[in-house]
Structure 1
Amino acid sequence: MNMSRRPVNAARRLVEGGSIPFASALHSKSRSSPYLSVLLILVGLLVIAYIYSGSGGSANDREALSKAEGGVSCTLEVQKALPLLKKAYGDSMHKVLHIGPDTCSVVSKLLKEEDTEAWGVEPYDLDDADANCKSLVRKGIVRVADIKFSLPYRSKSFNLVIVSDALDYLSPRYLNKTLPELARVSADGLVIFAGYPGQHRAKLAELSKFGRPAKLRSSSWWIRYFVQTSLEENETAAKKFEQASIKRSYKPDCQVFHLNAYH
């Protein structure tokens, strides 16, 4: 049972928000040519529906639309933060597992790095995957898996595990199972990118497998939960990441937690 990344009634929201291209021009001409206006609006709706349907829109199209609507994708944030993560984790970046939507884009970027092996777990549908992503799936580098259950990897299979846009959708009941699993397959550490409370999430990760929106929690909530799950902060990595962020004037749009793996 996979999650859908397709937003609901996207075309309707764009119409109501007045964000259809040339909407004002259509409105000004409606008195003289109402049929032409209706026809152009219908064409606009069809174009928008085509992009969102996944049958013709690429990942870049969806990301651009998400940004235009004020959405925040922590998976995109991971890609921005990769140079800082390399500074913070050094040798631990040689064998990395990323878990989250559009993991193919993260894995592809990691594989371009020298001396870096990368794998991905996609917890959502891959019906609209591009050729590169389908190739990664065929090779077994990227897998589609329900993260509420055991991950298909041996303990300590990876130096570092990075997760984004996935844990926000899980209730504590499932987090109790998933979080220890993430720590189990990691040898050196776990990095979690989570949304801020009140933050509007990107449309590509709008719904959970249960059809509910993300549960955006505060940093204090997460810290208490980590303590309850016997996960400790990786203070060394957190400090290095913070120093690198200051040096590069980097301010993440998502919360970033650095945790030690289970020993």
Structure 2
Amino acid sequence: MSRRPGNPSRRLVDGGGLPFVGTIHSKTRSSPFLTIGLVLGAMLLVGFCYHQSGGSRNDLEAVSRVEGSTSCTVEVQRAIPILKKAYGDSMHKVLHVGPDTCSVVSKLLKEEDTEAWGVEPYDLDDADASCKSLVRKGIVRAADIKFPLPYRAKSFSLVIVSDALDYLSPRYLNRTLPELARVSIDGVVIFAGYPGRQKAKDSELPKFGRPAKLRSSSWWIRYFVQTSLDENEAVVKKFDQAATKRSYRPACQVFHLKSYS
């Protein structure tokens, strides 16, 4: 879902050179120490811009905010330690549903005592070698989530979905959400985008078939009530406590639903 942004440091160069050049020339004779300081400052500024442009995967979420978009799939990866605190043993057998699920599954499999599977709602034609390996092993599979999931009831302790429900109309949500609850034992975690944040660039819309329909928290809560899906208040409290302790602030809306009894 997420794409590596262009390098913000280009704005320093395209504007006609580094912003301190004129100052450097005018002060060279009178203050060589000032010249050296300004040059070092300019180099640090360029380095900072490069780092923010994607030098580290941990900065991806921050960069996406600047561009006006947020990948909830990336957010799932950031939230794994918080989810483990909130769900405990329920993180033993996890299904992730959403685009770029291979990255989430790969990270979950690195966690101790955690089994993970994934469902990619779109094609996997451009998947990398690591993802194709997960597909060959049957750990990750492509499936249209508008139809019944290819799993038996209560196959997973926890189901996590991101960057997928935002693209479904209520008609298909009525089918997909009950399916997610059906295959889970201890709950469903939904990572949904906030209204006003663009989820896909125009060039990506053909892949998704429709633009994201970002809903408010009140919309989702009304929808859960109408479809008899209850929020897990006990888990919500644990999640919030763990998030506060770790100074974690989700860039997406996070909902915790109970499975069907």
Instruction: Give me the TM-score of the superposition, normalised by structure 2.
Output: 0.76
Pair 217,165 (structure 1): closer, same or farther in 2 beyond 3 Å: same
Secondary structure of the corresponding residue to residue 186 of structure 2: strand
Q: What letter is aligned with 2:258?
A: N
Instruction: Give me the TM-score of the superposition, normalised by structure 1.
Output: 0.75
Q: Distance in 2 between matches of 1:100 and 1:68?
A: 23
Q: Distance in 2 between matches of 1:197 and 1:6?
A: 18
Q: What letter is aligned with 2:76?
A: V
Q: Is 1:254 equivalent to 2:252 in the alignment?
A: yes
Q: In 2, are the aligned partners of 1:234 and 1:259 still within 8 Å (CA)?
A: yes
Q: Is 1:136 equivalent to 2:134 in the alignment?
A: yes
How far apart are residue 222 of structure 1 and its match? Answer: 0.2
Pair 208,241 (structure 1): closer, same or farther in 2 beyond 3 Å: farther
Pair 97,260 (structure 1): closer, same or farther in 2 beyond 3 Å: same
Pair 174,260 (structure 1): closer, same or farther in 2 beyond 3 Å: same
Pair 249,201 (structure 1): closer, same or farther in 2 beyond 3 Å: same
Partner of 1:243: 241
Listed as ranges, the gaps of 5+ residues in structure 1 are: 8-13, 27-59
How far apart are residue 21 of structure 1 and its match? Answer: 8.7
How far apart are residue 123 of structure 1 and its match? Answer: 0.8
Indicate which of 184, 190, 197 corresponds to 1:199: 197
Q: What letter is aligned with 2:139?
A: I
Q: In 1, are the aligned partners of 2:167 and 2:212 still within 8 Å (CA)?
A: yes
Max radius of gyration: which structure?
2
Pair 210,154 (structure 1): closer, same or farther in 2 beyond 3 Å: same
Q: What do the CA deviations read for 1:140-187 (whole angstroms, capped 9, x no partner)? A: 000011100010000000000000000000000000000100000001
Q: What do the CA deviations read for 1:199-238 (whole angstroms, capped 9, x no partner)? A: 1225499537663210000001000101111100111111
Partner of 1:121: 119
Secondary structure of the corresponding residue to residue 187 of structure 1: coil
How far apart are residue 131 of structure 1 and its match? Answer: 1.0
Q: Distance in 2 between matches of 1:107 and 1:211?
A: 25
What stretches of structure 1 move > 4 A for 4+ residues in a row? 19-22, 63-68, 202-206
Stretch moving more, 198-207 or 99-108 = 198-207
Q: RMSD of the alignment, in Å?
A: 2.8
Partner of 1:158: 156
Partner of 1:181: 179
Pair 167,204 (structure 1): closer, same or farther in 2 beyond 3 Å: farther
Q: What letter is aligned with 1:262?
A: Y
Partner of 2:99: 101
Q: Is 1:72 equivalent to 2:64 in the alignment?
A: no
Q: Distance in 2 between matches of 1:166 and 1:208?
A: 15
Q: Distance in 2 between matches of 1:208 and 1:241?
A: 36
How many pairs are equivalent?
Answer: 218
Secondary structure of the corresponding residue to residue 158 of structure 1: coil
Q: In 1, are the aligned partners of 2:94 and 2:157 still within 8 Å (CA)?
A: yes
Secondary structure of the corresponding residue to residue 78 of structure 1: helix
Q: Distance in 2 between matches of 1:78 and 1:153?
A: 22
Higher relative contact order (CA 8 A, sep 6+): 1
Pair 251,77 (structure 1): closer, same or farther in 2 beyond 3 Å: same
